[in-house]
Amino acid sequence: MAQAVTSTSGEGSLVTPTLLQLFLLFMRIGLTSFGGGLSGWLLREIVHSKRWLSEDEFYDALTVCQALPGINSVNMAIWIGFRIAGVVGSLVNLAGLLIPPAVLIILLGTVLSSLTRFPVTGIALTGAAAVGIGLALSMGIGLARRLRRRTIPLIVFAGTFFAIGVLHWPLLWVAGAAALINVTAEYIRLSRS
């Protein structure tokens, strides 16, 4: 389980995990995340505490994974696995993230279906879900901090937030239009420079 230093970027040296380490981390995240915010856990563990990816690369991956169909956390597991260890990495991450909780939901559903009827379980889960929201919010702040301080990106950012969060417009149309506008603007900017 020797850890090799692979690169020295601005954010300090990155570390390459073994497949077992990848599996164990995704299993832990799969088994301990309640109420969403899984990607927030990934940022915390993979970038901040373990240094397997740089923060920039993580946010790039998150941005692309959000735009693709599928569940964010599952897409992230595939993407991160592939970046670190190729096809096998993707499969290992998927297995770690999905199989243990899948077994658990079947066990709990059949054997202990009465568990969710104890009020205290529901109350504790609400508290855990609140922390899940905190994880998602801290990730949203991280993304927002990295925006270019220019007119078009900031308008697109504010417009997306307002249209979805306040006006409840359909997500696909809003995200599609916002993406089209801003990606085109960036492409033109990159072509000129």
Partner 1 sequence: MWALPISLFLIFLPMSLVTIGGGYGIIGEMQRQVVDVHHWMTTQQYLEAFALSRATPGPGSLMVTFIGWQVAGLMGALFATLGIYAPASLITFGVANIWRRYRGARWQKALEVGLRPVAAGLVLATVYILLLTINGGWLARAIALVATALLVTTRINPLVLLISGAAIFTLGRFFLPV
Q: Considering the complex, state which of residue 2 and residue 119 has its C-beta at the smaller distance from partner 1.
A: 119
Read off the tokens for 19.
Answer: 């497949």
Rounded distance between C-alpha atoms, residue 64 and residue 58, angstroms: 10
Residue with smaller CB distance to partner 1, 2 or 69 = 69
Q: Which of 111, 116, 74 minimizes the C-alpha distance to 94? A: 74
Which residues, 162 to 191, sit near partner 1 by CB under 8 A?
A: 162-166, 171-172, 175, 178-179, 182-187, 190-191
Contact between 47 and partner 1 by CB under 8 A: the answer reads: no
- Site size toward partner 1, by CB under 8 A: 104
Q: How far apart are CA 158 and CA 167, in angstroms?
A: 12
Please state, in angstroms and rounded to a whole number, the distance separating the CA atoms of residues 130 and 36: 10
Contacts of 100 (CB under 8 A, 6+ apart): 27, 30, 31
Helix (H, G, I), strand (E, B) or coil at 153: helix
CB atoms within 10 A of CB 29: 22
80 contact partners, CB below 8 Å, separation of at least 6 = 42, 46, 52, 53, 61, 89, 93
* Neighbour tally for 135: CB within 10 Å: 20
CB 54, min distance to partner 1, A: 13
SS3 13: strand
- Minimum Å gap between C-beta 11 and partner 1 is 14
Q: Please identify which residue in the block is written with the tokens 């243990």.
A: 100
Among residues 3 and 121, whose Cβ is nearest to partner 1? 121
Among 6, 12, 48, 173, binds partner 1 (CB under 8 A): 48
Among 40, 51, 52, 84, binds partner 1 (CB under 8 A): 40
> Whose Cβ is closer to partner 1: residue 2's or residue 16's?
16
Q: Which residues inside 124-163 make contact with partner 1, applying CB under 8 A?
A: 124-141, 143-144, 146-148, 153-154, 156-163
Which of the residues 65 through 124 are near partner 1 (CB under 8 A)? Answer: 65-75, 78-79, 82-83, 87, 90, 94, 97-98, 100-102, 104-106, 108-110, 113, 115-116, 120-124
Measured from the CB of residue 63, what is the shortest distance to partner 1 in angstroms? 4
- Pick from 33, 55, 95, 149 the residue near partner 1 by CB under 8 A: 33
